[in-house]
Amino acid sequence: SQQGEEDPQALSIQEGENATMNCSYKTSINNLQWYRQNSGRGLVHLILIRSNEREKHSGRLRVTLDTSKKSSSLLITASRAADTASYFCATDPGDATNKLIFGTGTLLAVQP
Amino acid sequence: DTAVSQTPKYLVTQMGNDKSIKCEQNLGHDTMYWYKQDSKKFLKIMFSYNNKELIINETVPNRFSPKSPDKAHLNLHINSLELGDSAVYFCASSHLYTGATDTQYFGPGTRLTVL
């Protein structure tokens, strides 16, 4: 299976703490994207990092990419209860099909 | 304004029935997708269409047939429903760029339950 894996599967933290999620993938990529899914909802795009980038920031989000290790991490700083959701990484394998291969997801619970 | 909409939100039906899920996007995107999310939250691409033309078909059973009447709509018809078809189906859309996949915008999902 091409599906990537995320670690941890579930994470519970207190409001104000930082949350780090890791993603490993199997093929070479054009870019890697992170999405959030609130319970019972569709996925919302958070951030995209290209294969020639190593780090990217967006508000309280920081994403790193290590193509030599085929891994990425998502850091959410100063977490809030509203950040409670599942987080998925998705890779563009660069095969010109425009498909995304999603990871298994991390369920983040932020306790108020 | 809803960017990507799906109907129905919930669908409960008996094994063997035929059902359709509709998807519409008002973002002006060229490409639309169907994904299946199972009970373990694994999300897998099923189909994608670009300007009404099929470009991805990920070994989905023939019972699943996508139809794109125009580039703003991509419907999913499922024949002879089976218990294993129970899942949440997501429609998505994006621009099409040669050589790279852009941000995808997802609909709210259709929860299909086959009894």
Q: Which residues of A touch B44 (CB under 8 A)?
A: 3, 102
For each successive 10 residues of chain A (112 residues), what is the average pLDDT?
78 97 92 94 94 96 96 97 96 80 94 92
Q: Compute the half-sphere exposure of residue A21: CA atoms within 13 Å on the CB side of its CA.
A: 27
A67: which 2 tokens?
Answer: 């193509």
Question: What pLDDT, on the 0 to 100 scale, is given for residue B79?
Answer: 96
User: DSSP letters of chain B?
Assistant: --SEEEE-SEEEE-TT--EEEEEEE-S--SEEEEEEE-TT--EEEEEEEETTEEEEE-S--TTEEEEEEETTEEEEEE-S--GGG-EEEEEEEE-EETTEE---EE---EEEEE-
Tens of pLDDT, residues A46-76: 999 999 999 999 999 999 999 999 999 999 9
Q: Which residues of A touch B58 (CB under 8 A)?
A: 99
Question: What pLDDT, on the 0 to 100 scale, is given for residue A95?
Answer: 75
Q: Which residues of A touch B21 (CB under 8 A)?
A: none
A94: which 2 tokens?
Answer: 């660069």
Task: Report the gap between the CA of B56 and the closest CA in chain A (Å).
Answer: 7
Least confident of B2-6, B55-59, B90-94: B55-59
Whether residue B34 is predicted with pLDDT greater than 80 in this model: the reply is: yes
Tens of pLDDT, residues B57-73: 777 889 999 999 998 99
Whether residue B97 is predicted with pLDDT greater than 80 in this model: the reply is: no
Q: Is B4 an 8 Å CB contact of chain A? A: yes
Question: What pLDDT, on the 0 to 100 scale, is given for residue B87?
Answer: 96
Nearest-CA residue of chain A relative to B56? Answer: A97
